[in-house]
Copies of this chain bind each other. A is one copy, B any other.
Amino acid sequence: MMKNKQILLERRPVGPVKDEDFKIVVTQTPELADGEALVQTVYLSIDIPLRLWLEHDIPLDGGFKLPKVELGKVVTAFGNGVVVESRNPDMPVGCSVGGMLGLQEYTVVKQGNPFNHRLPDGIPLDIALNGLGNSGMTAYFGLYDLGHPKSAQTVLISAAAGSIGVIVGQLAKNEGCRVVGLAGSDEKTRWLVDQVGFDAAINYRSEILDTALAENCPNQINIYFDVVGGAILDVVLPHMANHGRVVACGTMAEESGPGTWSGLHQLYNNLLKRRITVVGLNAADYMAQYTEAGAKLMKWSQEGKLRWFETVIDGLERVPEAMNALFEGANKGKMLVKVSEGA
């Protein structure tokens, strides 16, 4: 039995999370039953679903859903860690386990839970949550299965310095596309061009977006890979090419509340004029193809065609701070909270 620091959902947040939305408690880990393993959390993924299911169920196919977090319960989170006690021979002490953990130092993982899986030995746990985790899978399936990139097309990426954006941008460059990113600071736009290899990047906070899009996307936009939505979508849609595709992979602007945004009033006018498709992605739909996609991404990484970027914050109790930092765009690449070094 170990002391287990846990973060519970105290009330449903509105807009940015506040400390009062959560409650930190310390419990004891339970005695394990047959088939259970105790995982010591190493990394937690700070991502959009983490914010989404504080308020909403996320339905999956076949009647399944990722249920919203219940009040008073440990907040669900993607993460990974190391098995420190085990009564499950498939997950022996010392092996790594990923998937649905919680905002806590230790999680009991039950045999047969489809949302937990043993990780192959030898994969660094940060990369397991970055390129091989939800960010990498969202980038991969969003770009290839929904975006259908073709050489010389223009791909615009919102939150381009974020975990998904930096991967999408590199993949699209490998396909011969012109890649343009949106980011919230000059430091990040410079970083995208100089370090990540984007063709251009626009600071949507300081530049006139409409003008900057016209300048940087002279052949219009074929694919808009968007994890934001909201007011920026309004400005982007008129710059889309005929039969352009908007891959909606996140709702950062909508999740932060309407604010001063007046809402989309010209969606269909834009869609009809250019016969645009807008499609929502949940990478979990592709779970059966994760291994195959992961192998490709690792191969590209080993060949030097794909690099991993991450921002790591230390300490479980800093998760709420990290969540807001994510929505404020404080990260470059994948944002992680490191909870422990592992056993």
Residue of B nearest to A49 (CB): B272
- Which of under 10, 10 to 19, 20 to 34, or 35 or more describes the interface residues of A? 35 or more
- Binary B-proximity of A236-269 (CB < 8 A = 1, otherwise 0): 0000001100001111001100100111111111
Q: Answer whether residue A58 sits at the interface, using C-beta atoms and an 8 A cutoff.
A: yes
Alpha-carbon distance A232/B341, docked complex (angstroms): 52
- Binary B-proximity of A216-252 (CB < 8 A = 1, otherwise 0): 0000000000100100010000000011000011110
Q: Answer whether residue A4 sits at the interface, using C-beta atoms and an 8 A cutoff.
A: no
Residue of B nearest to A252 (CB): B268
Number of copies: 2
Among A115-123, A193-201, A275-283, A291-299, the stretch in contact with B: A275-283
Q: Are A282 and B278 in contact (CB under 8 A)?
A: no
Alpha-carbon distance A276/B274, docked complex (angstroms): 19
Q: Are A251 and B280 in contact (CB under 8 A)?
A: no
Q: Which listed residue, B58, B249, B255, B267, touches A267 by the CB 8 Å rule? A: B267
Q: Answer whether residue A72 sits at the interface, using C-beta atoms and an 8 A cutoff.
A: no
- Binary B-proximity of A48-66 (CB < 8 A = 1, otherwise 0): 0000100011111100000
Most buried by B among A226, A272, A285: A272
Residue of B nearest to A257 (CB): B265
Residues of B within 8 A of A243 (CB): 61
Given contacts A280-B271, A280-B274, A280-B275, contact A59 B266 (CB under 8 A): no
Write the nearest CB–CB distance from A268 to chain B, whole angstroms. 4
Given contacts A265-B254, A267-B264, contact A282 B277 (CB under 8 A): no
Q: Are B250 and A58 in contact (CB under 8 A)?
A: no
Q: Which listed residue, B261, B268, B274, B280, touches A272 by the CB 8 Å rule? A: B280
Q: Chain A binding site: helix, strand, loop or mixed by DSSP? A: mixed
Q: Which listed residue, B52, B269, B277, touches A251 by the CB 8 Å rule? A: B269
Q: Answer whether residue A273 sits at the interface, using C-beta atoms and an 8 A cutoff.
A: yes
Residue of B nearest to A278 (CB): B278
Residues of B within 8 A of A285 (CB): 275
Most buried by B among A52, A233, A266: A266
Residues of B within 8 A of A265 (CB): 254, 258, 261, 263-264
Q: Give 10 CB contacts A-B under 8 Å.
A: A59-B274, A229-B267, A258-B265, A263-B265, A264-B265, A268-B280, A271-B278, A275-B282, A277-B280, A278-B279
Taking beta carbons and an 8 Å cutoff, which residues of A are in contact with B? 52, 56-61, 226, 229, 233, 242-243, 248-251, 254-255, 258, 261-282, 285
